[in-house]
Amino acid sequence: DLRENKYRQRLLNLLGVKYILNKVDPQVSTAKADSQTFDNSIYKLIWQKTPWQIYENTQVLPRIFLASSYAVENDKDKIVRKIFDDKFNLRGKIILEEDLFPKITLVKDDAAKVEIKKYTPNEIVLQTVASTNMLLFLSDNYYTGWKVSVDGETGKIYRADYSFRAVPILKGNHSVRFSYNPDSFKLGLWISAISLLGILVLIILKKKNVK
């Protein structure tokens, strides 16, 4: 129940879940919002057709945003407790498992913005604009196979808020590119190339022997 489970609500906010599809009991009228399940101070009924309803989460966090503050915590249990603490501002502060290196000073910029230029399963391209140094947050899963570059220069992805991604961004306009290029994939290509080369050599040697 979203009304009673505040932890589930904070998780949905952090994951960027903006819309929820709800199926109503056919015996219950869909003429009004399901106030028993959805807190009407958080969820807005935007569409309905028996027996379905769609609610908009008005507290959802952007899937990608720029933040000006962070805390360092590498204890998983403490990270979870912070995330589910009502007093912890998920939009204003990001939890990192290690400090930024090199360390930079972050300053709030209310006019800062980030725009999605490309989003595919293996590549994400973003454009950031800020007058101060900030921390880019992306609520996609942190995985070592992902790489990042800022204006073509290799950068570092930090694990953020337990399982997401963050990248330090200096002031100005920048193009940020995430690409999925795991080492296992590279190794597979090399093995395939060597195997193919070996097969070609065997074919050539066999033809020479036949002659």
The model carries a pTM of 0.81
Give the model's confidence band at 202: pLDDT under 50 very low, under 70 low, under 90 confident, else very high: low
Amino acid letter for position 105: T
Q: Which domains does the chain have, with CATH numbers?
A: 6-57 (no CATH), 64-183 (2.60.40)
Residue carrying the six token digits 């407790």: 81
The DSSP annotation for 146-194 comes to: EEEEETTEE--PEEETTTEEEEEE-SEEEEEEEEE--HHHHHHHHHHHH
Give the model's confidence band at 207: pLDDT under 50 very low, under 70 low, under 90 confident, else very high: low
Closest CA to 169 of 119, 129, 124: 129
Work out the mean pLDDT of the chain and round it to a whole number.
Answer: 88
Angle, alpha carbons 179-184-189 (nearest 5°): 90
